Amino acid sequence: MLNRIVLIGRLTQDPDLRYTNSGTAVANFTLAVDRMRANQNGERETDFVPIVVWQKQAEICAQYLHKGRQAAVDGRLQIRSFENREGQKVKIAEVVAESVRFLDRGDPQNSGTMYGSQQKPSGSGTSSDNRQAEPAKSQRFEDDPFADDSQTIDISDDDLPF
């Protein structure tokens, strides 16, 4: 059996970071995800998916993700139930994140990093430190690398591995 969810969307609010009684970090946020197909009016509908992130990853998400930032979440679907204040049983579907990737350029130090694992360069701030950090900027793709460059590729079907 397989329980895997992959979502790309934008945060509807800043992550809410809390700690359990045992000191484990847990962050919650909602991801706005557009559906693949348009509705009858030709508009794409948006789903608002609750995300739960645990431990160090929760702290990093709370530090670097903010409302409006784009993120990719890879995780599993979890359905939990509890009794609300009125004594009614409530079921909630949420995605428990196994990995979170920051996709947009909201923070240049952390764009496109998984779990926020990209470390900020350390150093004294001298010009030699600035030159070492420069290649990282040039490795970013400012343009779409798969954009049509008007060149055709001539490949026969026999050359394809599938």
Task: Answer whether residue 118 shows pLDDT above 60.
Answer: no
pLDDT at 14: 96
pLDDT at 42: 86
State the CATH architecture for 5-140: Beta Barrel (2.40)
Task: Answer whether residue 3 shows pLDDT above 80.
Answer: yes
pLDDT at 124: 38
Report the candidate in 116, 117, 115, 110 with the shortest Cα–Cα distance to residue 136. 110
Cβ neighbors of 157 (< 8 A, separation 6 or more) are none
Q: Which two tokens stand for residue 78?
A: 């979890």
The pLDDT tens digits of the residues spanning 67-114 come to: 999 999 999 999 999 999 999 999 999 999 999 999 986 544 444 444
Q: Which two tokens stand for residue 26?
A: 């847990």
The pLDDT tens digits of the residues spanning 14-71 come to: 999 999 999 999 999 999 999 988 888 888 899 999 999 999 999 999 999 999 999 9
Handedness of CA 59, 57, 50, 85 (dihedral sign): negative
Pairwise pLDDT comparison (158 vs 151), residue with the higher score: 158
pLDDT at 78: 95
Task: Answer whether residue 160 shows pLDDT above 80.
Answer: no
Task: Answer whether residue 129 shows pLDDT above 60.
Answer: no
Q: How confident is the model at residue 151 (pLDDT cuts 50, 70, 90)?
A: low
In angstroms, rounded to a whole number, what is the distance separating the alpha carbons of residues 117 and 124? 21
